[in-house]
Structure 1
Amino acid sequence: MRLLFLGSGPFGIPALRRLQSLREDLMVATVPDARHGRSRSLRPSPIKSEALELGLDVHECDRLRGRAGRELLEQTGAQLIITADIRLILGSRFLEGPERGCFNLHGSLLPRWRGAAPIVRAILAGDEQLGVTLYRMVPALDAGPVVGFSSWNPPAAVTSEEAELHLSRLAADLLEQHLETLEMGAATLTEQSEDAVTIAPKVEKSEGWARWDGDSGFLDRQVRALKPWPRTRTRVARQAASSCPDEVILDQVSQIEGMPAADAGTVLEVTSDRIIVACGHGAVA
């Protein structure tokens, strides 16, 4: 079985490692090196870096539609494709090419949170249960029939960074559980309920401004959901002679009960180890 793994971001690394330990004929494809930071230096994707460390050959592609997709299939002869965090749109003909199909590992319990940022959106919404889904890919985004799920009840203070790491490991376990049936073309597929769909759009940097006008619970979720990017930040009113910065990053907040009502963003109390600030409802420190 000629197996091709497609990935870009770190979410797919545990699955790649698991496949490499289970199959000798594994091939890898990822996006080309991209420029980052002020220096604009070229950096490989996390999947490329990991694949090279594992001694795997890597194909690079910046699109998988039309000729580019056909060429990758011809070069690899892939019979089964597994994807995770690929960050590319796969054309319909590409999806139809492999004999055993294309299957994706997605960081939510589909059909909840289809889209680019499922973990962030789940934490923002206060979901008590997170998870991963293995499903067969179709042209519509994250809409294909499901092979299997793995769910997790995270701790109350979980951040997106922590959740992604844990869910990526669950994804590797889920893939191993179903790999043989995928290779045989014998997986049981269950259609998603369109009535239960929610969308997880890409996170924008502008979402990082602290929402003091909301309740304290939302601000707590915002700080956790937007860590490590774009982080939650707030402007600080200061006197001209003060050395206090104009903006600060909120690394962690805790909800505080029993504080008097005040305008959102008002500093209620300052001690040696915390600052208590009013929200639209409640307060945080």
Structure 2
Amino acid sequence: MRVVFAGTPEVALPALAAIAASGHELIAVVTRPDAAQGRSKRLVPSPVADWAAKHGIETLKPQRPRDPDFAERLRTLQPDVCPVVAYGALIPSEVLAIPSHGWVNVHFSLLPAWRGAAPVQRALLAGDADTGITIFDLVPALDAGPVYLREASALGDSETAGAVLTRLAHRGADLLVEVLDHLADGTAVATAQGETGITLAPKLTVDDARVDWAGSARTIDRQIRACNPSPVAWTTHRGERVKLWLARAHAGTVLTPGVLAVDKRSVHVGTARGVLELLQVQPAGKKVMAAADWGRGLGADPGSFE
């Protein structure tokens, strides 16, 4: 089949590479426009655009998918199908109708659970035991289309959102090619999702990432893992922001919420239930470091998080 792939971040690259290596013809990619990066605000192409440029694949970067020039170019390309992994914009009905086999989306949850931009992050925050991959036919309503394939995957007790997404991205790439193969030979069957068990997964904000030490150690540990690598959980210490990259919850020990207990090898923080051992932190203006190294620089009175 003639394929136009839509995706933007690094998590989309395994699927893109798998399609390029398959028996299908990758004729173009669609991705978000170049974005300003760093203090210089230099425009940088997305990982998908960068991959396409290196492989000589035509790249479409519409400001909005409803732009007439984009729709006209897509019609000219005559794709049979448009696979999607984390493209980052809603596709209007008139553009969804262009490929004969539609737009086939890879979503990292067991739909209809966690419809939206941050399914893995929200699953971790909620303490779900598992997540998964759903491949479905894109429709105008958010992540509501009929499903070609679902596969469950357990969430590890110490996995970060980044680690889970990397793992699911590689497995999802194989499953996506399998679905494309079935579409090509006419054996693909899509089943309606149903209306029960729907939950929403909006993108995590910086406010979502602020730690409340009145929570339990287990809850805060989930928050830290859900926010890694973005937007990164944070708190304040002596008036400056400290990012929390990795931690580990311990039950049974009592320490006042927010209060730091530091020794040569570890940093612990009190919570409403249990204590949290910090493993990796990032003080304001510095690189990520071992929490124990940061703790040794706090002096005799390490104080507390605000």
User: Per-residue deviation at 1:86?
Assistant: 0.6
Stretches of structure 1 that go unaligned for 5 or more consecutive residues are: 238-244
Q: Specify the SS of the correspondent of 2:29.
A: strand
| Corresponding position of 2:192 | 191
Residue in structure 1 matched with residue 265 of structure 2 by the alignment: 273
Where does the alignment leave 5 or more consecutive residues of structure 2 unmatched?
A: 278-306
State how far apart, in whole Å, the 1-side matches of 2:24 and 2:92 are. Answer: 28
Give the secondary structure class of the aligned counterpart of 2:112.
coil
CA distance in 1, matches of 2:198, 2:73: 32
Contact 2:115 2:198 (C-alpha < 8 Å) held by counterparts: yes
Counterpart residue number, 2:283 = none
**Pair 234,160 (structure 1): closer, same or farther in 2 beyond 3 Å:** same
Alignment match, 2:50: 49
* One-letter code aligned to 1:251: W
Map of 2:288 onto structure 1: none
Instruction: Name the residue aligned to 2:282.
Output: none
Q: How many angstroms apart in 2 are the aligned matches of 1:261 and 1:29?
A: 52
Q: Deviations over 1:31-74 (max 9, x none)?
A: 22121121000100110111222332222212112524521322
Farther off after superposition, 120-129 or 177-186 = 177-186
The one-character-per-residue Cα deviations of 1:122-181 (angstroms, maximum 9, x if unpaired) are 111111112111000111010000000122213210001111110100110111222221
Provide Cα deviations, 1:1-33, integer angstroms capped at 9, x if missing partner: 321111111121101000000146312121221
For the 8 Å contact 2:255–2:269, the answer to whether it is kept is no
- Structure 1 contact 64–89 (Cα < 8 Å) conserved: yes
Tell me the alpha carbon deviations over residues 209-233 of structure 1, each in whole angstroms, 9 at most, x when there is no partner.
1121111111001111101111111
Query: For the structure 1 residues 154 and 260, does the alpha-carbon distance in structure 2 shift closer, same or farther, using more than 3 Å as the test?
Result: closer
Q: How many correspondences in the alignment?
A: 276
What CA RMSD, in Å, does the superposition of the two structures yield over aligned residues? 1.6
Report the 3-state secondary structure (helix = DSSP H, G, I; strand = E; otherwise coil) of the residue aligned with 1:176: helix
The question of whether the paired residues in 2 share the 8 Å contact of 1:150 and 1:170 is answered with no
3-state SS, counterpart of residue 169 of structure 1: helix
**Counterpart-to-counterpart distance in 1, 2:236 and 2:144:** 40
**In 1, distance between residues paired with 2:163 and 2:152?**
15
Between 122-131 and 273-282, report the one with greater CA deviation: 273-282
Q: Does 1:74 align with 2:68?
A: no
What amino acid does structure 1 have at the position aligned with 2:81? Answer: L
2:92 paired residue number: 91
The residue that corresponds to 1:247 in the other structure is 241
Q: Give the structure 2 partner of residue 257 of structure 1.
A: 251
Between the aligned partners of 1:25 and 1:257, the Cα distance in structure 2 is: 54
Indicate the SS of the match to 1:252. strand
Q: CA deviation at 1:88?
A: 1.3
Q: Report the Cα distance in structure 1 between the residues aligned to 2:77 and 2:70, rounded to whole angstroms.
A: 11
Amino acid at match of 1:61: P
Matched residue, 1:151: 152
Asked whether the equivalents of residues 234 and 244 of structure 2 are also in contact (C-alpha less than 8 Å), the reply is yes
Q: Say whether residues 1:6 and 2:6 are aligned partners.
A: yes
Q: Is the 8 A contact 1:62 1:88 kept in 2?
A: no
SS of residue in 2 equivalent to 1:55: coil
Q: CA deviation at 1:185?
A: 4.4
* Contact 2:2–2:24 (8 Å) recurs in 1: no
Q: What amino acid maps onto 1:123 in structure 2?
A: L
Matches within 5 A, 1:31-180: 31-65=32-66, 67-180=68-181
Deviations 1:221-268 (A, max 9, x none): 11111011111111113xxxxxxx722222222212332353x2123x
Runs of 4+ in 1 over 4 A off after TM superposition: none
CA distance in structure 2 between the partners assigned to 1:186 and 1:3 by the alignment:
18
